Each structure stands twice: as structure tokens, then as C-alpha cells.
């Protein structure tokens, strides 16, 4: 107690230790305590506490009370038969209770009901470390910052998406252009080959005709032309070529036979030139032209020759080869062979005439087809060049649009970003104004008893501010100066 009553019922502070006065609550005797360390105060005789609500008074209590006008301190409040000393009662009738040690929920309710208009100031110095706070401004600013970054990112993403879609379209067109121009160079190469063919048309058509007698596959142009040629011409060509081969073969065979006849050993019989021949080689129908010559007589001047009377006579000589040599008159045979060769050669001449006529017809068709293929290819090349030009134009237009888009977007982006920056700047300053001093907080170990308090609670943690509890987990930092100007507004310091 800072104050007691003197004999004239005036509120006085002790002025020396041992001074006597009367307790305003119980009218008991109190004694002045005026030490050097603690604030001077009154104490009941034998340190008895007459108000059960009052805990042992500490310096913390005394320092707080001393902040208020003297008349407001230790005010006795009497309601019906109940009497208590309020630590402070302001001019507006608000009781301020300074609570140092834990009290029961029942006591809290009882006091709040008794005083009706009151606030609590709790000494939280001993459990302030048990109290975790987070600035509402900080957490809201963090949320705000995230939102701000998200908006900027979204803006950039939209821009990038559109740019990417341009790039994708341009890339598609460019790769189409590349494949078309590859196709074009292939066609141009083909055209060059075809034009070379045109430079020497005879060689080309001859080359195609030469392939007609085989079934092999040839390079595309040749093959295409081969298939388009008149089938009966192709058939005729094949037949003529076969006939020519056959005629050739016959001529060669006649020549061969002629050669073998001329190679036979000559022998003069009856003034005529005969040729020696093995018996088995004599055609039996030609027995009249054949002679048998006694071997022994060949060494003499007089040849002993036998001519055959009949076919059976000729056949009788089959086993007489040890005694006879045989000869035949080749004149008829040679004449026949000569005739055969002449006929063959004539036939060959006329076949070759037909062949060259056929080749001429085929050659005409081949060159017509070649020209047709070239004109088709020219058309394809023209078309492809149109497509390529078109693609180039499209790519150019897209690139120009992209450039325009980038310029426009650069402006829009700058404007939009400036807008966002401004919006968030305002938002941040609003957050800082509205939430200034507010904190969300929680107890590591809850002081459950204070949950029942309905009246405002201020926690004193020994700083120059108080924590004002505004919700279950919400606190506001209230500077002690602000607290004093609200509750002690008529107090003029020192
Ligand atoms: Zn008393």
C-alpha cells in the first residue's frame, strides 16, 4: 500500500519508517516502511493482508501505480457489503489491476464481476520467453510479396507463352521450307539429268531400247518410259532380235561346217578332188559320192578305188576300215553350204532393216515420253517454287508480327508492371498502417487461467511496450506511452 489515512482521513504516503496510519479498507493500523531500495509504502501490523485479492505488493506494483495520479491509486471500492482496494481507478471509472502472480479462474471472474469496468496488466516478465510472437505486418507483407511476385510471373508467363507460339509457328514453316527446298533440288537434279539425255537423244533412246531385251529394273525415268512404250512394238522387237540371233547362228553353223569340210585331207580320185573322211561320217544316202580306197594302194602310183553299187553294198564296208580308207566328193556339200550362207545373210539384211525401222518407231515414242516427263517435271518445279515462295512469305509475315508483338508487349508489360508495382506499394503501406503493432502469438505453455478473462489484458514483459491481447492468438504491441495517454490521460508526468 502506498497510501493510508491520517487522523483527518486524508490520503498520505509514509514519510518515515515506523509512522502510524489507518488502513482505508479495514481501518486496521498500518506502519510506514521507508527503506533505500524499495518504494516507500505502508504495511499492516505483522504484515497481515486485509484484502484477500491483494497479493504481496512488489516494486513492480508500486512502479506501475506511481505512474498514475495519487487520487487514482489504491481506491477503496464498496459495493453492498463487499469492499476491495483497486490498484488504480481512473477518472473515467476504469479499474486497473496489476497482477504479478498466477491467480485462479474463479478469482479472475469474481474481480471482473465486482469491478465491471476494468483492465488487467499482468507481469509477464517471468514467462515472456514462453511467448512466441510473429508480426502481423511481417506475415501479411510476406503474403503480399508472394502475391506480387505471382502477378509479375503470370504477366511474364502470358507474354512468354505467346512468344513461344510465334516461335513454334515460325519453326514449323521453316522446317517445311527446308523439306520443300530439298525436294526442289532433287527435282532440279533430275531435270539436269533429263536435259543431258535430251542433248544426245540418239544415245538415250538407244540406251532405253537396249534395256528392253532384259527384265532388270532401271533408273526411274528409263523404267517409266519402258513401261509406256507400245507393247506390240516391244514384242516385235523381241521377235526380230530372236530371228536375227537364229539367222546369225545358222550362218555361223554353215561357216563352221564349211571350215571342217575344207580342213579334210584332199585326195585326187579319177581326176577329181575328193576329201578323206571316216567311214562313220559318210551319210549313207550319199554313198554314190563316196569311194573306198584300198590302204595298201595309197603307197603305189595306182590307187585302187571302189564305188558302191547300192546302199547295202556301202553298208557292207562298215567293218573294213582296217583295209580301206574312205573319201567323198565334197562339191555338192560345199555348194549347199555356200547357198545356206547366202540365204542367211540375205535374211539377216532384211531382218536388220526391219529392226532399224522398229527402233526408229520406238525411239520416236521414247523421245516423246521423255519430253512429256520433262514438261511434267517443269510443271512440278514451278508449283514447288510457288509453294516455297508462299512459305517464305508466311514466315516473313510471322516474324514481322512477332516483332510488332514484342514491341507492343514491351510497352504493355512496362505499363502493367508499373501498375502492379504501384498497386502493391499501396497495398504494402496499407498493411503497415492497418496492422501496425499487431502480432499473432501463442504460448508455448498456455496460461489457461487467463483464457476466462473477459476484460482487456495487457502483458508487461519489461519493455517499453505492452502486449495487448486482441484475440485468442492475436496481440497488439502497445507502447507504454500510448497506454498511459489512453488510461492516464490527465496525468502530467513529473
Ligand atoms: Zn487493511
Burial class of residue 467 (count of CB atoms within 10 Å of its CB; 0-12, 13-18, 19+): buried
Report how far ligand 1's centroid is from the alpha carbon of 1 (Å): 9
pLDDT the model gives residue 446: 58
Please report whether residue 170 resides in a domain.
no
State the distance from the centre of ligand 1 to the C-alpha of 3, rounded, in angstroms: 11
Residues of the chain scoring pLDDT < 50: 491-494
Would residue 139 count as lying in a domain? no
Domain boundaries, position 272: 265-329
Distance 213 CA to ligand 1 centre (A): 143
pTM above 0.85, yes or no: no
Question: Which pLDDT score, from 0 to 100, does residue 284 have?
Answer: 87
What is each CA distance from 408 to 166, 399, 411, 413, 420, in whole angstroms?
A: 14, 14, 5, 8, 18
Establish if 459 belongs to a structural domain: no
Rounded to the nearest 5 degrees, what angle is found at the Cα of 458, between the Cα atoms of 456 and 463? 165
Ligand 1 mean position to 68 CA, how many Å? 22
Distance in Å, CA 147 to ligand 1 centroid: 62
Residue 421 domain flag: no
* Side-by-side strand order, sheet with 324-328: 266-269, 272-276, 324-328, 290-294, 305-307
Which protein residues have a CB closer than 5 Å to ligand 1 (ion)? 23, 25-26, 28, 50
Q: Which residues pair with 467 in a beta bridge?
A: 459, 477
In a domain, 260, yes or no: no
Ligand 1 mean position, distance from CA 33 (Å): 15
Secondary structure (3-state) at 477:
strand
Residue 31 corresponds to which cell in the numbers above? 506502519
Is 16 within the bounds of a domain? yes
241: CA distance to ligand 1 center in Å? 151
Specify if 278 maps to a domain.
yes
Among residues 50, 66, 88, which one ends one of the domains?
50
Q: How far is the CA of 440 from the centre of ligand 1 (A)?
A: 42
Task: Please tell me the predicted confidence (pLDDT) of residue 491.
Answer: 45
Q: Measure 25 CA to ligand 1 centroid, in angstroms.
A: 5
Instruction: Please tell me the distance between residue 51's alpha carbon and the centre of ligand 1 in angstroms.
Output: 7
Q: 333-370, pLDDT tens digit by residue?
A: 999 999 999 999 999 999 999 999 999 999 999 999 99
Say how many domains are in the chain: 2
Residue at 127 is within a domain: no
The rounded distance, in Å, linking the Cα atoms of 272 and 262 is 15
Q: Please state whether beta strands 73-79 and 118-123 pair in parallel, antiparallel, or not at all (unpaired).
A: unpaired
Q: Give the residue from 297, 329, 361 where a domain finishes.
A: 329
Amino acid at each position: 500500500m502506498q497510501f493510508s489515512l491520517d487522523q483527518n482521513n486524508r490520503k498520505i504516503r509514509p514519510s518515515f519508517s515506523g509512522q502510524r496510519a489507518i488502513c482505508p479498507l479495514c481501518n486496521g493500523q498500518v506502519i510506514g516502511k521507508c527503506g533505500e531500495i524499495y518504494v516507500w509504502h505502508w504495511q499492516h501490523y505483522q504484515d497481515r493482508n486485509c484484502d484477500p485479492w491483494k497479493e504481496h505488493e512488489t516494486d513492480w506494483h508500486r512502479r506501475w501505480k506511481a505512474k498514475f495520479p495519487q487520487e487514482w491509486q489504491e481506491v477503496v471500492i464498496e459495493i453492498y457489503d463487499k469492499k476491495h482496494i483497486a490498484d488504480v481507478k481512473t477518472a473515467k471509472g476504469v479499474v486497473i489491476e496489476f497482477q504479478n502472480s498466477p491467480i485462479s479462474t474463479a478469482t479472475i471472474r469474481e474481480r471482473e464481476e465486482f469491478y465491471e469496468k476494468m483492465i488487467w496488466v499482468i507481469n509477464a516478465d517471468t514467462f515472456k520467453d514462453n511467448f512466441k510472437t510473429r508480426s502481423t505486418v511481417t506475415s501479411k507483407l510476406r503474403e503480399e510479396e508472394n502475391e506480387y511476385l505471382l502477378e509479375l510471373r503470370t504477366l511474364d508467363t502470358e507474354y512468354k507463352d505467346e512468344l513461344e507460339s510465334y516461335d513454334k509457328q515460325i519453326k514449323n514453316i521453316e522446317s517445311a521450307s527446308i523439306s520443300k527446298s530439298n525436294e526442289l533440288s532433287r527435282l532440279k537434279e533430275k531435270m539436269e539429268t533429263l536435259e543431258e539425255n535430251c542433248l544426245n537423244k540418239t544415245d538415250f533412246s538407244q540406251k532405253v531400247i537396249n534395256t528392253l531385251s532384259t527384265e532388270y529394273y532401271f533408273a526411274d525415268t528409263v523404267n517409266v518410259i519402258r513401261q509406256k512404250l507400245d507393247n506390240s512394238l516391244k514384242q516385235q522387237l523381241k521377235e526380230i532380235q530372236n530371228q536375227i540371233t537364229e539367222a546369225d547362228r545358222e550362218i555361223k553353223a554353215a561357216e563352221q561346217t564349211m571350215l571342217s569340210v575344207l580342213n579334210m585331207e584332199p585326195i585326187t580320185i579319177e581326176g577329181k578332188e575328193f576329201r578323206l573322211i571316216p567311214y562313220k561320217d559318210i551319210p549313207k544316202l550319199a554313198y554314190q559320192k563316196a569311194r573306198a580306197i584300198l590302204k595298201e594302194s595309197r603307197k603305189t602310183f595306182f590307187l585302187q578305188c571302189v564305188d558302191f553299187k547300192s546302199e547295202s553294198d556301202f553298208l557292207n564296208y562298215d567293218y573294213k576300215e582296217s583295209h580301206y580308207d574312205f573319201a567323198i566328193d565334197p562339191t555338192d556339200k560345199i555348194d549347199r553350204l555356200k547357198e545356206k550362207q547366202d540365204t542367211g545373210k540375205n535374211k539377216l539384211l532384211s531382218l536388220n532393216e526391219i529392226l532399224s525401222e522398229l527402233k526408229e518407231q520406238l525411239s520416236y515414242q521414247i523421245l516423246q515420253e521423255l519430253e512429256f516427263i520433262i514438261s511434267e517435271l517443269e510443271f512440278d518445279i514451278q508449283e514447288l517454287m510457288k509453294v516455297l515462295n508462299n512459305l517464305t512469305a508466311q514466315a516473313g509475315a510471322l516474324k514481322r508480327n512477332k516483332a510488332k508483338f514484342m514491341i507492343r508487349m514491351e510497352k504493355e508489360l512496362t505499363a502493367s508492371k508499373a501498375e502492379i508495382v504501384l498497386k502493391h506499394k499501396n497495398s504494402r503501406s496499407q498493411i503497415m498502417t492497418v496492422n501496425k503493432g499487431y502480432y499473432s502469438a501463442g504460448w508455448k505453455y498456455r496460461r489457461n487461467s487467463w483464457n476466462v478473462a473477459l476484460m482487456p489484458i495487457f502483458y508487461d514483459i519489461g519493455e517499453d511496450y505492452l502486449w495487448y491481447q486482441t484475440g485468442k492468438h492475436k496481440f497488439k504491441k502497445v507502447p507504454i506511452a500510448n497506454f498511459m495517454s489512453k488510461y492516464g490521460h490527465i496525468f502530467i508526468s513529473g
